[in-house]
A and B are shown apart, each in its own frame.
Chain A
């Protein structure tokens, strides 16, 4: 009996290191919760500016995630399935914004889509479309930094997916799109969910590109991260409360991420 227990328990060294990692993540939040002016919580949360920032953050991050899905999944598919020249270059390009400091992304967006930007000037002169200082600009900035997370995760999933299942589906009479929708996508669902959540989380927390490109105006472009940063300059107590609100919202979504959505490691695959 005891022999079986010993072989089932994870090695102690791994547990210790994993424990360190958990502590590493928990300590900053502990500090935050300890310093927060809890008595002011209700007042700060009730403030219009806070409500608007939170609502704006949710709207823009969801929209940005949708953009990432609509054009990111096809890109992931092409990168995984189509052998074309300069594929590595394209992949590097698609993930570049993930590696760069967000401010650099913001500067790039600024000088290409700003009113006097390379493309922005035509958008403005011909169509009257202005992106900086608008909510659309916020969504653009967030999509730009968040999409790579989704592309990488989903591309990896497509690569690992056995194409022969699609072949089987086609031999049974399914057209390519039908097979894709009913066989491929459900099979890589855990990866898609992970990619979507990562992209959304990144979009929600986006700051550098947003403040540089879209600007900062309550209700239009002042998302929660911006509001928190600005508050920090004059009223650290409010900044703490805002941080906590953002943490609660994000944590709530992440904790809803069920194990089974991410794939069950104990499912034995039979051939």
Chain B
């Protein structure tokens, strides 16, 4: 299913005006300076920020359409997310974190835990099942966050600065692992990041956002060859 978004939203005196498509199996990196509106894009896709005007469509499911006054609540959108800081629920164990979404949708405790355990195994962290989030390392927390998001079988996967919480040395290894995990996810993927290395390693295309508008989009090569703004040039410029 293709994710197709036309987003016009206001937050305070910040106006966001972007549109993009992401196809199945494709990873789009959203890059931009701080305050450009990248996280707001994710919040709009999740349904946490209502659109002023626009449309968000996933395959043939309309998630939001302002012209027809259509709005699907966040809990029904099947849009999965791994948040900055991971936001694992501190009062729940790792396995209960992963099982949370299933139980919220009505699954019984035991069956939810079984499914959760399977997902933990996929990410090779089932040995951490009974630990608390505060006891995990950055890399472990990211895997658990991924497992939690994927346990409810989302159709789209969003990642908000997935590597920002890690120190430089672990970042490279985790980035490589993330690349593998992402390619195993069949639907469209969207990564918000400020780090061009993430874009190069993980993304097929990039969307550059500055001050709430798209300044450039295309493949990494295209963008590198022909930067539209000084910011883009600086991003990919001094690069071996």
Q: Is B228 an interface residue (CB 8 A)?
A: no
**Tally of contact residues, B, Cβ under 8 A:** 31
* B95 nearest CB across to chain A (Å): 14
Closest residue on chain A to residue B88 by CB atoms: A168
Q: Are A267 and B134 in contact (CB under 8 A)?
A: yes
Contact of B74 among A170, A178, A186, A189 (CB under 8 A): A170
Q: Is A16 an interface residue (CB 8 A)?
A: no
**Tally of contact residues, A, Cβ under 8 A:** 25
Q: Is A169 an interface residue (CB 8 A)?
A: yes
Q: Is A29 an interface residue (CB 8 A)?
A: no
A29 to B230 Cα, complex, angstroms: 74
Contact of A171 among B79, B85, B90, B133 (CB under 8 A): B79
Interface locus among B2-10, B99-107, B177-185, B208-216: B99-107
Closest residue on chain A to residue B145 by CB atoms: A168
Q: Are A173 and B105 in contact (CB under 8 A)?
A: yes
Q: Are B152 and A165 in contact (CB under 8 A)?
A: no
* A183 nearest CB across to chain B (Å): 6
Q: Is A3 an interface residue (CB 8 A)?
A: no
**Chain A residues near B77 (CB, 8 Å)?**
171
Q: Are B89 and A165 in contact (CB under 8 A)?
A: yes
Q: Is A7 an interface residue (CB 8 A)?
A: no
Q: Are A172 and B148 in contact (CB under 8 A)?
A: yes
Q: Is A125 an interface residue (CB 8 A)?
A: no
Q: Are A268 and B74 in contact (CB under 8 A)?
A: no
Q: Is B87 an interface residue (CB 8 A)?
A: yes
A42 to B105 Cα, complex, angstroms: 58
Q: Is B32 an interface residue (CB 8 A)?
A: no
Q: Is B36 an interface residue (CB 8 A)?
A: no
Q: Is B80 an interface residue (CB 8 A)?
A: yes
* A159 nearest CB across to chain B (Å): 18
Q: Is B203 an interface residue (CB 8 A)?
A: no
* B10 nearest CB across to chain A (Å): 16
With contact pairs A174-B101, A175-B75 given, residues A167 and B89 touching in the complex (Cβ less than 8 Å): no
A173 to B106 Cα, complex, angstroms: 10
* A264 nearest CB across to chain B (Å): 10
Considering only residues 175-218 of chain A, those with a C-beta below 8 Å from chain B are 175-176, 178-179, 182-183, 186-187, 189
3 residue pairs, one from A and one from B, having the closest CB atoms: A172-B101, A174-B104, A170-B74
- Residues of chain A having any CB pair with chain B under 8 Å: 162, 164-165, 167-176, 178-179, 182-183, 186-187, 189, 267-271
- Residues of chain B having any CB pair with chain A under 8 Å: 43, 46-48, 73-77, 79-81, 83, 85-87, 89-91, 100-101, 104-105, 133-134, 136, 141, 148-149, 152, 165
